[in-house]
Structure 1
Amino acid sequence: MPQQHSPAKTMSSDPEHNDRSKLARGLNNRKLLDLVREAVLLVDLSGEIVFWNQGAEQLYGWNANEALGQSPLELLQTELPRPLAQIHNILRKERCWDAELKQTTRKGIRITVASRWALWRDDSGTPLGHFQLDSDITRRKQAEQELRVLSGRLLTIRDEERRRWARELHDSVGQLLVGVTMNLSMLEQQLDPTPLKMKFMDECTRLTNEALREIRTISYLLHPPMLDEVGLASALRWYVNGFSDRSQIKVKLEIPEALGRYRLELEIAVFRIVQEALSNVHRHSKSETAQITLIESPRHLRLKVEDRGRGMSLPIPGLEKDDANMPGVGISGIRERVRQLGGQMQIRSGEWGTALEVFFPAESSSEAASSEAAGA
């Protein structure tokens, strides 16, 4: 009785059948890739396009016949964040490589794509090139930029409102209390100096003076006038001394003796960050001490706020991803101020405490004035 061969063995022994199967699989794969909305490219080792799906045609404007055989980097005027050789090295070690790339369509429109590259290998594992999946995120990036501008505007409006309310409290309520104090003094001279009357007068005078001090403190906290008049160093010294008196937390302030003046936006940002950071130390860390260090360099202004409290949970969502929200209005506000001025922020925390470090590109007030004059 002749031996029966299985269908699988029969197909594998038929080269013509195997070629037809590979062709059928290839056609099916192409149909599937054409259903993908994103642009899908296949680039060989020489850097030329060997596959270009319908998603790529719709996104970029060239059809497959026009794109095949060309370099996608040259065709799309792609801006790579690192050299191509480095990307290829990453692909040999990692599953894929992700980046946001700037490209140009056939109509000359500059777009931003979220691009994912993966190594293309044959059945034996030999590299043949790379797959490239590009998704248009131009509108999302524009919306993010508009949101950043709006957030910056809201911060500016809040600072302007703080300044206005500080002035109103000082000039109106503060002056009214000064008037009350003067009237009490005149009334005291007209009253019979009986012990009971003098006790009440002294109490009224004491309460009025205390209210006046509180109004001035609140006004200065909303916007310290010395920040405009004499600069960041004096404003920080005043605030740190007052904070230590109110909270009983010992704060060490290290700033250059001859700290220069910077543009007002930067000085306000540093002051507000110190305010919020020390407020977090008082509310959350339970630390008995804190340290503030301000370091100048030719191109950067570095601020560091440290405590020796109980620390915080890390990583903080949103600290490194722009599209995530960080918990707490305070940290989120700090991050937004840093972003608006083109700076960087780092938070480290552990059993030893927490350290907030901020780097700002430095521009003195005179340099800022020169830049504005040149642009006018």
Structure 2
Amino acid sequence: MTIAAERIADMAEHEGRFSTQERTKTFRFGELFSGPGGLGLAATNASRPGYEIVHQWATDYDADTCRTYAANVCGDEGHHTVVHHDIRTLDYDILAERGGIDGLAFGFPCNDFSVVGERKAFDGEFGPLYTYGVRALERFQPEWFLAENVGGIRADGGRVLRKIFRDMMDAGYRIYPHYYKFEEYGVPQARHRMIVIGIRNDVDVEFKVPSPDRFKAEDVSARTALANIPSWAKNQEPTKQSERVIERLNHIPAGGNAWHADMPEHLQIKTNTRLSSIYRRLHPDKPAYTVTGSGGGGTHIYHWEEPRALTNRERARLQTFPDDFEFRGSKESVRKQIGMAVPPQGAQVIFEALLDSYAGIEYDSVPPSLEELTLGR
């Protein structure tokens, strides 16, 4: 090859790299109610040729949660982009100082919308918190957003959701709400969540809900999920079980709970309310039931064979956090963080579908299951 030819080849290679860089679109990502990093990890792990999501800032009211997020998503548990603050008194200028955003997530607290909770909805302490997400949409005008909450929010004939969806649309977004069953997306846990993807009205992109069909062959059993946890993984402190609890668990079969018919009289729990989660043991060949932040009164998740509650690392496995993801805080604090998180592997499927939508890549999809609640505004 002549020197001239080599120069032309070098220029072509340089131009190719340059044009690839030009085509790369980086979405700066902000989070409210960030939790320990389920969505943050999912977003930054999601990628498609020419598209990526990078952390810009996050905020949560819990100090341990912020330390966990910063350490695992940012690489430094004191990172300045993770703001520890109560959203109800947070000045959004503090977030703006950390940079503009192109994407926003807000997994607003679910307590007042939960099936297990009292369903106070908008009259409760937590119900109105979604409005801080809407306020952030109006303030920062990101190209897209992801909002997440529990399935119980569909109560009251959809009245609550219609109000929330209307506020999101009034902020200037087309929305694609869907009720996701994460065990259908490769997560070893029956965790059902309402998730809304919103695209700003002036952005020429249409999102489609990813189909779960490609995950049908996935092994989502508890047995597989909890296998081969390395000894170096953190957050494996065991829960101390009393002799009475151990005796009770030994009478409960895999998949059963405290109300098992063969429970001896002296071990029976005498209450009028019979929650299925009380001393409930996993079934090794099925996905786990929903991991929550609770633990007292027999609400730990219990092993199917050993008479004990799961460790926090085992709970994190069911939530699909990687083994090198280290939660900060006390054992009780970590348990709550894990229970409140979004499973990163499930969320990553949604973020990658969003990037596919931007890239114009076709993928199998299903209709948004809650779309009818966006009509008739």
TM score, norm. by length of structure 2: 0.23
Normalized per residue, the structure richer in strand is 1
TM-score normalized with structure 1 length: 0.23
Name the one with the larger helix percent.
1
